[in-house]
Each structure stands twice: as C-alpha cells, then as structure tokens.
C-alpha cells in the first residue's frame, strides 16, 4: 500500500469515531459528568474545610479522572465488535497498530480532553491556587492519553466477553498506578512550592512509551479476541 | 489464485474439519455447504485471516496470506453475518467510510450507482439504524459494488433479502465471476447462479 492511502485511512478512522461520538453525545457527556460529580462529592463528604480539601485535591481529581477514563473504555471497541465493524477493521490493508492508534486518539479527544478542560473548575472548587491548577492541567494532558492507551489494551483483551467492563478495571487499574502517583505527585509538589520537572518528565516518558508499545499490544490483543 | 492446503480448524476441544484442500482460480465460484456447526463460518474466517488455522495454510498467489496480510486484504472483501454497518451513519457515509478505510479512491458517482442498484435510492441519507434488516443487508452488499476487490467471501449473503434482492445478488455474483473474480459463499438454500464454473464443497463429508 502506498503511504497516502494509509494517511486517508487514518484520517477517516479518526473522523469516523469523532462523528460517531458527536451523534451519540450522551455517552461522551456521561464520562465528563461522572468526573465532575465524583470530585464534587468530596467537599460534601469530607467537610468544607478548605485546607483539608486543598491537601487532598490533586489525589481526588486524579483518581476521579482515572475512574472516568476507565468508565469510557468499554465503548472503545465494543460497539464496533457488536456490529461487525471490528472484523472489517482487522481486514484493512493497513498496519493494524496504526489504525488502532487513531482510534485511541479519537477516544481520548472525546473522553480525555474534556476532563483536562474542566479540571481548572474542579481545582478552584477544591481551593488549589492558579499555579497548581496550571500544573494539574499539564499532568492531565500528559497523563490521560496514557490512560487511554493502556486502557485500550485491556479493552481489546476483553472485547466480546460478558462482564468485560469489570474485568477491564481489574486488568487496567493496577497499570494506572504509576500515572496516578506521578500525576498527583506533581500537583502536590507544585502546591508545596517544590520543583515538578521530575514528575512531568516521567509522565512524558510514560506517554512516549505507551504511544510506541500500547497500539501494538492492542492490535495483537484484538486479533486474539476475534480469533 | 487462492489455495487452501491441509487446513484444519479447531473450536474449543472440537475438531470441525481437517485436511481440507482446494484451489480456487480466477473466474470460479465456490459454494460451501454443511449442516449447522459444520464449520462453514470458521472456514471463511480462517481463509480471511480472522482466525488462525490450527493446521495448514492459506495461500494467495502462492504466498502464505499470513505473511502478506496487507496485499491479501487489498484483494479481499469479507461479508460476515454482521453487516459492519454503523447505525448512526447513513448508507452513503457507511460506504464512503468503508472505501476510505480501505485506502481506495473515493468516487462518489460509483457509490451512488451502487446504492441505486441496491434499491436504496432516496434512503442514502437516512441513518441506517432506521432501515429494515433487509435494507441494512443491502447497504452491506453495496460495498461489493463500490469496491473492486478480486475475492469475495460471503457468509450467508442471502439472509434477510427479499426475492428481488436475491436475484440481484445472484446477478452480481455471476457478473463478478465472469470478469475473472473469485467468490466463496455459504448458503443453505440451493442457489442457481448463472455461471459456468461453480464448485461445491460439503463440510459434512
């Protein structure tokens, strides 16, 4: 295959998933609203003490982002599996990993990016200062794509299984831990006035590694799941 | 030329068939038969490469399809039980997407022609989820006309189609075989397709 046709395929895969998400807006909104509600529950449960809230804010927002991103994983392949489109994707004359990467990017744009955009609101709600909120957004920009990428492997392995959603969380949550530690850690350091470069570099490294390895693993997992 | 050598298929602990050999040349139609559960769909999926063969290999132009995946997929259209139609997209969008994903040049005229030929004119802009089962099937079949793949692999293509559409599909298959295409299909009904080279394989025997 020539390169331009691969580019066309990538573009249309990305475009298709975005169009489908726009025509099924309720799914996209659930993830975001879940994120907003979970974080908003904490002041009600923990109490309105602003110092306490500020202290737990990075962890709370990050855990909520993690759960929200996991909640949306089920949609990544299951719809395509049910209507047979996934079979056709496997039969495309292109490297499957590249196509998968485009699907994951589309998934992040509709489920990860909204979390990044609305995180300042939650940061303010929990009393974070402007600088910490900035760092929070940077960590989410670097971290949520990693969540989508790692999650895609789990989603691919469990596609077509009954009760796959629960299984995905068991498979994927342990792998999310490093991202959580360094994501929340960076915001905590920023709030304490310490340097955040080390945390951000590590998150960047996770992202680079996930972009290289996850699509390939997801492609293999899909072939196994559909066998 | 598609060649199947010593193919065996195992599902779970159950061996569906073994030692299957056949060669399909340009301009030939292969009609697979067998009772329910005899492995027709598994065979088709193995030929496509969706399933790994338990034994044996599938060769396309003399090369193992698993090592020339992209070249092989370029020549292949597989139509399974599921139509691979997105309910949120219209017939036209579904077709265009299938073409773009396969990396084919997008020719709107030939897509419209395919939709018209499948009797879906006037419905090409409706989301396919509002169409009937037979109409959805017609959208899926329109893919055969819009792409010019050499090898058609059709799993129960006559399901859910009305009499007119069955005739239409028979003609499409005959036309495709006549221009040196290859078709492998499964059906339970007797199909009389107006083409010289029709071969039968029965998986029960």
Q: How confident is the model at residue A1 (pLDDT cuts 50, 70, 90)?
A: very low
For residue A207, the surrounding DSSP H or E stretch is helix A197-225
Mean residue pLDDT of chain A comes to: 90
Please state which of the ranges A43-47, A133-137, A185-189, B147-151 shows the lowest mean pLDDT. B147-151
Q: Where are the domains of chain A?
A: 3-225
**Single pTM value for the model:** 0.88
Q: Tens digits of per-residue pLDDT, A107-142?
A: 999 999 999 999 999 999 998 889 899 999 999 999
Say how far apart CA A85 and CA A133 lie, in whole Å: 40
Give the pLDDT of residue B64.
85
Is residue A81 within 8 Å of A74, Cβ to Cβ?
no
The mean per-residue pLDDT over the stretch B186-193 comes to 76
Query: What tokens does B57 get?
Result: 């290999």
Q: A-chain residues within 8 Å CB-CB of B74?
A: 1, 93
Quote ipTM for the complex: 0.85
For residue B151, pLDDT over 70 is answered with yes
**Lookup result for tokens 């193992």:** B64
The mean per-residue pLDDT over the stretch B67-75 comes to 84
Phi, psi of B89 (to 5 degrees): -100, 155
For residue A3, the surrounding DSSP H or E stretch is helix A3-23
Is residue A138 within 8 Å of A203, Cβ to Cβ?
no
Asked if CATH classification 3.40.50.300 holds for the domain at B1-75+150-205, the reply, yes or no, is yes
Q: Tens digits of per-residue pLDDT, B7-45?
A: 888 888 888 888 888 888 888 888 888 888 888 888 888
Give the pLDDT of residue A212.
94
For residue B145, the surrounding DSSP H or E stretch is helix B133-146
Is residue B56 within 8 Å of B8, Cβ to Cβ?
yes
Is residue B196 within 8 Å of B172, Cβ to Cβ?
no
Tell me whether residues A91 and B84 touch, CB distance under 8 A: no
Q: Taking the CB of residue B156, how many other CB atoms lie within 10 A of it? A: 17
Residues paired with B155 in a beta bridge: B186
Q: Tens digits of per-residue pLDDT, B164-188?
A: 888 888 888 888 888 888 888 888 7
For residue A143, pLDDT over 90 is answered with yes
Higher pLDDT, A2 or A33: A33
Is residue A65 within 8 Å of A142, Cβ to Cβ?
no
The DSSP letter of residue B22 is E
Say how far apart CA A215 and CA A103 lie, in whole Å: 10
> Collapsing DSSP states into helix, strand and coil, what is residue B192?
coil
Shortest Cα distance from A206 to chain B (angstroms)?
Answer: 30
Of A6, A84, A99, the CB nearest to B82: A84
Q: Where are the domains of chain B?
A: 1-75+150-205, 81-148
**Lookup result for tokens 């449960």:** A45
Is residue B204 within 8 Å of B43, Cβ to Cβ?
no
Distance between the two ends of chain B, CA-based, in angstroms?
Answer: 25
Q: For chain A, list residues whose CB is within 8 angstroms of any CB belonging to chain B.
A: 1-2, 5-6, 8-9, 11-13, 16, 19-20, 23-24, 82-85, 87-95, 99, 226-227
> Which residue, among B69, B103, B140, would best test binding to A if mutated, counting the most A CBs under 10 Å from its CB?
B103
Of A11, A13, A83, the CB nearest to B86: A83
Is residue B183 within 8 Å of B177, Cβ to Cβ?
yes
Query: What tokens does A184 get?
Result: 């929340």
Apex A19 CA angle, B145 and B147, nearest 5: 15
Give the pLDDT of residue A200.
93
Is residue A227 within 8 Å of A213, Cβ to Cβ?
no
Tell me whether residues B102 and A93 touch, CB distance under 8 A: yes
Q: Tens digits of per-residue pLDDT, A15-70?
A: 888 998 888 888 889 999 999 999 999 999 988 888 889 889 999 999 999 999 98
Say how far apart CA B27 and CA B44 lie, in whole Å: 19
Nearest CA in chain B to A10: B101
Say how far apart CA B34 and CA A70 lie, in whole Å: 43
For residue B86, pLDDT over 50 is answered with yes
The mean per-residue pLDDT over the stretch A189-203 comes to 89
A-B Cβ pairs (cutoff 8 Å, strict): 84
Give the pLDDT of residue A107.
93
Distance between the two ends of chain A, CA-based, in angstroms?
Answer: 25
The DSSP letter of residue B53 is -
For residue B194, pLDDT over 80 is answered with no
For residue B162, the surrounding DSSP H or E stretch is none
């Amino acid at each position: 295959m020539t390169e331009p046709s691969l580019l066309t395929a990538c573009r249309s895969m990305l475009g298709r998933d975005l169009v489908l998400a726009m025509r099924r807006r309720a799914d996209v909104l659930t993830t975001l609203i879940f994120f907003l509600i979970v974080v908003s529950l904490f002041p009600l449960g923990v109490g309105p003490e602003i110092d306490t809230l500020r202290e737990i804010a990075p962890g709370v927002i990050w855990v909520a982002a993690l759960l929200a991103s996991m909640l949306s994983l089920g949609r990544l392949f299951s719809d395509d599996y049910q209507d047979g489109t996934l079979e056709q994707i496997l039969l495309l004359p292109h490297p499957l990993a590249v196509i998968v990467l485009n699907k994951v990017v589309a998934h992040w744009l509709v489920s990860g990016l909204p979390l990044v955009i609305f995180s300042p609101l939650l940061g303010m709600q929990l009393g974070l200062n402007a600088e910490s909120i900035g760092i929070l957004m940077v960590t989410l920009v670097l971290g949520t794509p990693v969540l989508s990428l790692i999650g895609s492997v789990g989603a691919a392995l469990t596609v077509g299984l009954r009760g796959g959603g629960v299984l995905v969380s068991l498979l994927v949550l342990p792998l999310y831990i490093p991202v959580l530690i360094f994501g929340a850690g960076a915001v905590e350091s920023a709030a304490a006035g310490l340097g955040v470069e080390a945390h951000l570099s590590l998150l960047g490294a996770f992202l680079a590694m996930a972009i290289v390895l996850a699509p390939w693993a997801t492609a293999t997992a899909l072939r196994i799941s559909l066998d | 030329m598609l060649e199947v050598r010593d193919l065996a298929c195992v599902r779970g602990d159950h061996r569906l068939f073994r030692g299957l050999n056949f060669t399909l040349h340009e301009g030939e139609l292969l009609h697979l038969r067998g009772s329910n559960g005899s492995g027709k769909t598994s065979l088709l999926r193995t030929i496509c490469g969706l399933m790994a063969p338990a034994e044996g290999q599938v060769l396309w132009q003399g090369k193992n399809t698993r090592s020339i995946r992209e070249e092989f997929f370029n020549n292949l259209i597989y139509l399974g039980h599921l139509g691979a139609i997105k309910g949120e997209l219209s017939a036209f969008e579904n077709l265009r997407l299938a073409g773009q994903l396969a990396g084919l040049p997008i020719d709107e005229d030939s897509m419209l022609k395919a939709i018209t030929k499948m009797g879906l004119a006037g419905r090409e802009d409706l989301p396919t989820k509002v169409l009937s089962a037979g109409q959805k099937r017609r959208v899926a079949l329109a893919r055969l006309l819009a792409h010019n793949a050499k090898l058609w692999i059709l799993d129960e293509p006559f399901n859910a189609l009305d009499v007119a559409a069955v005739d239409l599909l028979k003609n499409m298959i005959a036309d495709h075989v006549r221009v040196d295409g290859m078709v492998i299909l499964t059906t339970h009904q007797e199909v009389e397709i107006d083409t010289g080279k029709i071969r039968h394989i029965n998986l029960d025997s």
